[in-house]
């Protein structure tokens, strides 16, 4: 009997060690995937790697991106971005009460960046769980301005067109620093579905959404709402 208990105890101890080692490995890999990009431009993203066809993307620092685009994206995608810690629980609660299909609208810029950088499209519980995990890591290890800077450089604005600089050149033939407030609103307006909507040939829906975003920019107080700009 004593031998059986000892054997069982060894198995439990071995299992515990495996769990601890696995947890440490996951933590180390996660930090390797997140911490360096606090200072360095990510060389690519999961969404770029998954795109079939040529990819247009050019990294530019925040000072070379129009403040109008930064605030337009916040106004259209995540108005509480400077205030929350990765999750907008008020928006999530409202979306669940009104319509579960609107949960994408409750997804913060941090969550969208986590998905774009590390994951894949879809709505599975596994992907949402990983998205939440990486969102927490990003919020813990990066300042807000860096999260927005990387997001603006890797998010898809059109089929195969990633980042503010590539989008500005492709759609308006000018740099990301030179685009107007109206052009910035058009770019932000296509983000819910950049493969379907176009900033080059905006549909009536995109134009209406761009107008709404312009109104929200004014309501937020302009680029000054993002206190680091």
* Three-state SS at 69: helix
User: What does pTM read for this prediction?
Assistant: 0.88
Q: How many CB atoms lie within 10 A of CB 95?
A: 18
Residues of the chain with pLDDT > 70, as a percent, come to 86
Q: How much is the pLDDT for 92?
A: 66
pLDDT for 43-96, tens place per residue? 999 999 999 999 999 999 999 999 999 999 999 999 999 999 888 877 766 666
- pLDDT attached to residue 150: 98
């Amino acid at each position: 009997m004593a031998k059986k208990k000892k054997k069982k105890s060894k198995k439990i101890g071995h299992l515990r060690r495996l769990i601890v080692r696995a947890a440490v490995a996951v933590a180390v890999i996660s930090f390797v995937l997140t911490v360096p990009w606090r200072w360095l431009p990510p060389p690519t993203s999961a969404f770029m790697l998954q795109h079939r066809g040529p990819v247009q993307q050019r990294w530019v620092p925040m000072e070379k991106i129009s403040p109008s685009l930064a605030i337009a994206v916040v106004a259209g995608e995540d108005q509480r971005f400077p205030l929350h810690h990765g999750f907008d629980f008020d928006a999530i609660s409202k979306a669940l009460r009104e319509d579960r299909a609107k949960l994408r609208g409750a997804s913060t810029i941090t969550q969208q960046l986590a998905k774009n950088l590390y994951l894949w499209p879809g709505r599975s519980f596994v992907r949402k769980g990983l998205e939440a995990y990486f969102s927490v890591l990003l919020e813990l290890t990066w300042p807000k301005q860096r999260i927005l800077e990387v997001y603006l450089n890797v998010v898809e604005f059109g089929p195969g067109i990633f980042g503010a600089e590539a989008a500005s050149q492709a759609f308006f033939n000018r740099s990301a620093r030179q685009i107007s407030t109206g052009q910035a609103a058009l770019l932000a307006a296509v983000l819910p579905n950049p493969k379907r909507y176009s900033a080059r040939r905006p549909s009536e829906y995109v134009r209406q959404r761009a107008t709404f975003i312009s109104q929200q920019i004014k309501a937020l107080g302009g680029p000054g709402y993002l206190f680091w700009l």
